[in-house]
Amino acid sequence: MNSQFRKGVLEMCILALIARKDCYGYEIIQEISLKMDITKGTVYPLLSRLKSDELFENYIRESTEGPARKYYRITEKGRNHVTTMIDDYLAFNEKVLQIIKA
């Protein structure tokens, strides 16, 4: 798959996950790699960029069973962004399906 396209989809999935509930890095990576074949380490650069775009913010919470964890929480800007992204994607997907299934 084209890597730009792949990256866009991966970005959308990350945002969608975090929009549903606050997550920590390892959790995000596990969730996504259950469904998609990704190089796990490259999720962090994406997270870092989405954060610098202010689509989400971080806070640290201690966990009972392990190390302190850095959580990602979606911002208002991030929520708007991902909603538009998903709408666009679904509309696009519908057009594609119309063409290939015609």
> Segment contacting another protein (CB under 8 A): 13-21, 45-53, 78-86, 89-97?
45-53
Regarding 1 and contact with another protein (CB under 8 A), the answer is no
How many angstroms from the chain centroid is the CA of residue 39?
14
On the 0-12 / 13-18 / 19+ scale of CB atoms within 10 A, 25 is: middle
For the chain, list the strands marked E by DSSP.
23-24, 56-61, 69-74
Site for another protein in 47-76 (CB under 8 A): 47-49, 52, 59-62, 65-70
Regarding 29 and contact with another protein (CB under 8 A), the answer is yes
Q: Which two tokens stand for residue 4?
A: 């730009």
Number of shown-chain residues binding another protein (CB under 8 A): 26
Which positions touch another protein (CB under 8 A)?
24-26, 29, 33, 39-42, 44-49, 52, 59-62, 65-70
